[in-house]
Amino acid sequence: MPQDKDTEFENAVKTMMLHVGEDPEREGLLDTPKRVRKSYEFIYGGYKEDPKAILEKALFSTSNDEMVLVKDIEFYSTCEHHLLPIIGRVHVAYIPDGKVVGLSKIPRVVNVFARRMQIQEQLTEQIADAIMDTIVPKGVAVVIQARHMCMEMRGVEKINSTTTSSALRGLFKKDEKTRSEFFSLINSPTGTRY
């Protein structure tokens, strides 16, 4: 009789534990395969969500044509090369062209793409493209600053090194003044928290 997918996953976790020298039958590890399966279902939940559908549910008409910035969106993701954490912040700005999106939808879109196996550069592009293609603003800018555990826990072991990536679309790419305003805003002190 073939195994169901949950049992197959849990057996793979047991194999990994054996491979590193652990005993999956040890008391503290008996439920670990099930816990790992459930945590993976959450951590990689982005594969089951459609960022376009999230954005389309909260589009509103507007006459505003000034920059909208959501700054310091905390996220975690997983390096697709080593399955180790990427932890950082995302800054997202767009310039409306007749439509704005509910502010909570931008962090939700970040989460959709972050909760997949990723490289930072691709994550940055995916967020920018989803917003550009769905909201159709005059421009989009996305900057990610992150720490990669694949660099800190293994390999070069450089603690606290940060990687920055950006994706610029429309006015943010074409217009120096718009681009400068964005970078000035994301680099300024946050100030008072509300």
Mind listing the pLDDT tens digit for each residue in 85-104?
A: 999 999 999 999 999 999 99
Asked if pLDDT for residue 71 goes beyond 80, the answer is: yes
**Which neighbouring-strand residues pair with 89?**
74, 145
Does 120 participate in catalysis according to the annotation? yes
Q: What would the CATH number be for the domain defined by 5-43?
A: 1.10.286.10
Does 150 participate in catalysis according to the annotation? yes
Does 148 participate in catalysis according to the annotation? yes
Residue found by looking up tokens 């005993």 in the block:
23
Asked if pLDDT for residue 194 goes beyond 90, the answer is: no
Q: pLDDT band at 190, cuts 50/70/90?
A: low
User: With pLDDT > 90 as the criterion, what percentage of the chain qualifies?
Assistant: 89
Name the catalytic one among 8, 41, 74, 81. Answer: 81
Name the catalytic one among 79, 145, 152, 181. Answer: 79
Query: Looking at residue 1, what is its pLDDT?
Result: 56
Does 80 participate in catalysis according to the annotation? yes
Give burial (CB, 10 Å; 0-12/13-18/19+) of 109: buried
Q: What would the CATH number be for the domain defined by 52-187?
A: 3.30.1130.10
d(CA 84, CA 172): 32
C-alpha dihedral, 37 to 160 to 113 to 40, nearest 10°: 0
Question: Which part of the chain has CATH 3.30.1130.10?
Answer: 52-187
Does 81 participate in catalysis according to the annotation? yes
Mind listing the pLDDT tens digit for each residue in 15-35?
A: 999 999 999 999 999 999 999
Full-prediction pTM beyond 0.85? yes
